Structure 1
Amino acid sequence: MSLPDTMRAARLHRPRSPEGPEDVRIDEVPVPAPADGEVLVQVRACGICASDLHVVAGVTPHGPRLPQILGHEPAGVIAAVGDGVGDWQVGDRVAWVMSRPCGRCEYCRAGRENLCVTTRVAGVDVDGVQAEYAVADARFLVPLPADLPFDQAAIVTDAVATPYHALKRGGVGPEMTVAVIGLGGLGMHAVLLAKLAGATVVGVDVAEANLERALAWGADEVVDARQDGVARRIRELTEGGVDRSFEFVGHRDTVDQAVKALRPGGRATIVGLGPEAIRTVPVALFVAQETELVGSFGYTQQDLGELYDLVEDGRLDLSRSVTDRLPIEAFPDALRRLETREGNPVRIVVTYPA
């Protein structure tokens, strides 16, 4: 296929600071060329995530230089193949892991590439993929089901894969009780996936719209976190506490709720990112109840492949997950809508023409 010389890309020119607002623009930039072991993908869809907001707001440091392309939830079609790539061809429908691990360290060799100490996350540490074209390491490509729309395929690469990895870390199974604290894009998919695993689910959030959506997506009970005694209410609803809890907010108070909502022997899995130190139950109680507290970060290539298999088998329905589809010109306003929760989106996705 004939490739253009330039493409449109959403780039951060200046993060938000006390001196002024952020500066995000849609720029015309050169189309990148794939290096050895890489492919060039014509991006067909790219989701917008709270992590984009963190970079734009200056909470998460951006890469070594500005302007920087944002975005890390891509799906598309291979447009060109670099040297040394033997298993992929132009025209293949693909997604890929949002981080760029080394592939050689002990973690990568063990299939835990999300813990690679030299990994670089697209849109955070290096140029991202909110653009008409993007390069990808061929080692971390995953094929897409033939009938899966690109917008749904794109959000799997974070909004679905991150909670899926967390549920695997937490060990969710049939007849377990589960609390999901924070019902944004990741938390809503945690509800969906926990129900798929056969668990009874309690959803927790401060927004009425999110609580109603959680019930519509299968949650058995919901708890309004604007009221006092969240953990106590969860224990009441589950007759003593949940087997597993999952925290998707990243605040000290919600981590505390995740721990206090557990029954003895329970496990809390923390996914939300935040700067505060964890403070929860007294050490003696933590020990006496054999409480487990674990972290969960990102996902692996295996997780991504398993999710696309679930979709292809008809077991996982993501048709309600994309609440807005916008052109790249609307990306700056989409960031504002996500930050203000205008319209209560699950996932806003930028779509690109073929």
Structure 2
Amino acid sequence: MPQPLPDTMRAARLHATASDPERGPSAADVRIDELAVPEPGPGEVLVAVAACGVCASDLHVALGITPAATLPLTLGHEAAGTIAAVGDDVGDWQVGDRVLVPAGRSCGTCALCRTGRDNLCQEVAVLGVDVDGAQAGWVRVPARLPLPVPGHVDLVEAAILADAVATPYHALKRGGIGDGMVAVVIGLGGLGMHALQLARLAGAEVIGIDVDEVALQRAREWGAVEVVDASRPDAGAHVRSLTGGGADVSFEFVGSADTAALASSVLAPGGRATLAGIGRDRLAGPPLGLFVSREQEVVGSFGATTSDVNELLDLLDAGRLDLSRSISHRLDIDDFPTALEMLHTRHDHPLRIVITH
């Protein structure tokens, strides 16, 4: 029989955004609160969170860069665990089922959702931004959203699929990655390193670009054929020289005007730059005549679709995708404020920090 649930749980809650974003998350009011364990209503399931990744998006919410719908707010949107309780009308879900919780709650009925582009749903509610997230002991979600996780797949690895792996996977598909291509990945944090891994899995040669020597060395170890320090003023020209004219595709995961422009500058004629980094800068690019005459493309890429996440779960299940190196730090929920500070300062060069239960 299922074990009775406790009355309360710990949750990482944002009570106020940073008074001065330049000071980092220490200027925000983030607390580990004791909350009542939610009860699932009709059409809902309650997931006991085994792991929840800590993302730069969490940091952006705490800093006030990404506006939260309401405060206080439980953060976190990269979660996996087991179903702990079910409401009425939840289909075949049963207590004990292993699940991944998607980061976004799309409406499921609009034209975009019906055509498989649920990441673009205009009614989407993002965990930890628009609604209470999963950086807690339990999270209540609509029963139509969780995705089953195969029994032998590590739930910690499944958790980061929701964003840290699915977002670059979707970007690679938007960019048209393929066998034999030369791809440039700009920004070698959690998203960029998974883009590197997935691009190599697709048969591409990858050049990594970052300003952090540790990140560049990590990219070498993960199979980048070349790495380039983004701080050098001729970074784009250097990539074109290394590649004999430019890369086929590039992928940007930083979210600044400078790195977006760099993503275009590394391309060969006919190349495509895919921008997945989110920031406040206005988009800048090459002179219009040069851009047109070289028939280059720039596309945006946002989040991931349900289909993307399911495809990644299949790759994990088949043993084709190895995420064992991806989790650089496993922390307790009491250390969540420290995790935000690590992301802000890049202390200890985190790749993916995961809060485990």
Q: Pick the TM interval, shorter chain.
A: over 0.9
Q: What are structure 1's unaligned runs of at least 5 residues?
A: none
User: What is aligned with 2:37?
Assistant: 31
> SS state of the match for residue 94, structure 1?
strand
Q: 2:58 aligns with which of 28, 52, 66?
A: 52
Structure 1 counterpart SS, 2:220: helix
Matched, 1:86 2:88: no
- Give the C-alpha shift of residue 96 in structure 1: 2.2
1:51-94 C-alpha deviation (Å, 9 max, x unpaired): 00000011111122x21100000000000111111121110000
Number of aligned residues: 351
**Per-residue deviation at 1:6?**
1.1
2:5 aligns to what SS in structure 1?
A: coil
- Residue 142 of structure 2 aligns with which residue? 137
- SS for the counterpart of 1:276 is coil
1:13 maps to 15
Q: CA RMSD in A?
A: 1.1
- Partner residue, 1:325: 330
Deviation of 1:141 (Å): 1.5
Percentage of pairs with the same residue: 58
Which residue does 1:283 correspond to in 2? Answer: 288
Secondary structure at 2:41's aligned position in 1? coil
Q: Which runs of 5+ in 2 are unaligned?
A: none
Q: Which amino acid aligns with 2:61?
A: V
Separation in structure 2 between the aligned mates of residue 96 and residue 87 of structure 1, nearest angstrom? 16
Q: Distance in 2 between matches of 1:315 and 1:221?
A: 24
CA-CA distance at 1:342 after TM superposition: 0.9
Farther off after superposition, 140-149 or 215-224: 140-149
Q: Partners of 1:35 and 1:254 in 2: how far apart?
A: 45
- Which of 303, 312, 316 aligns to 2:317? It is 312
Deviant stretches of 4+, over 6 Å: none
Structure-1 separation of matches of 2:225 and 2:103: 32
The corresponding residue for 2:297 is 292
- Which residue in 1 is equivalent to 2:162? 157
* C-alpha separation in 2, matches of 1:337 and 1:278: 28
**In 2, distance between residues paired with 1:36 and 1:197?**
42
Tell me, what secondary structure is at the counterpart of 2:27? Answer: coil
Residue pairs, 1:1-354, within 5 angstroms = 1=2, 2-18=4-20, 21-64=27-70, 66-352=71-357
d(CA) in 1 for partners of 2:18 and 2:148? 37
1:292-338 CA distance string (max 9 Å, x none): 11000000111111001101111110000001111111111111111
Instruction: Give the conservation status (yes or no) of the 8 Å contact 1:47–1:72.
Output: yes
Structure 1 residue 35, shift from structure 2 partner? 2.4
| TM-score normalized by the length of structure 1 | 0.97
Letter of the 1:226 counterpart: S
